[in-house]
Amino acid sequence: MRRKPLREIAIQYFTRRGYTIEDKSLNQESGNPSTKKYDLIVRKGGEAYPVWIKEWNRTVGVNIVINVDKAAYNAGFSTPILVAEKFSEHARAYANRRGIKLITRSDILRRIRIF
């Protein structure tokens, strides 16, 4: 059985949670090349949230979370969202302190089945 791409299940997750999706990448003026584009912009309740999707078969570390935080701040967003397979404990701690939402594939699949 083929695994669905993380981007596809992330769009399904946000749609089911009542977000509107802008499925286009926006270039930023500054930041790390790995965070130059948002994968999605999701909107709910008048707020917009940039979403980065890291389809990697490894753990996302704190350095990526810091780069996403900086890129979101530079673009005028206060609450970025990062979707990946898994996150390191340091990445989770940093995200918790900074108000960054981290979502894993297993979180999405678990919540989609609830609906």
pLDDT of residue 29: 46
Q: Of 10-14, 57-61, 111-115, which range is least confident?
A: 111-115
DSSP letter for each residue of 62-112: HHHHHHHHHHHHHTT-S--EEEES-B-HHHHHHHHHHT-EEEEHHHHHHHH
pLDDT of residue 1: 61
pLDDT digit string, tens, across residues 35-85? 456 899 999 999 999 999 999 999 999 999 999 999 999 989 989 999 999
6-114 maps to CATH 2.70.98.60: no
Q: Look at the chain and count its residues.
A: 115
10 by Cβ neighbours in 10 Å (0-12 / 13-18 / 19+) ranks as buried
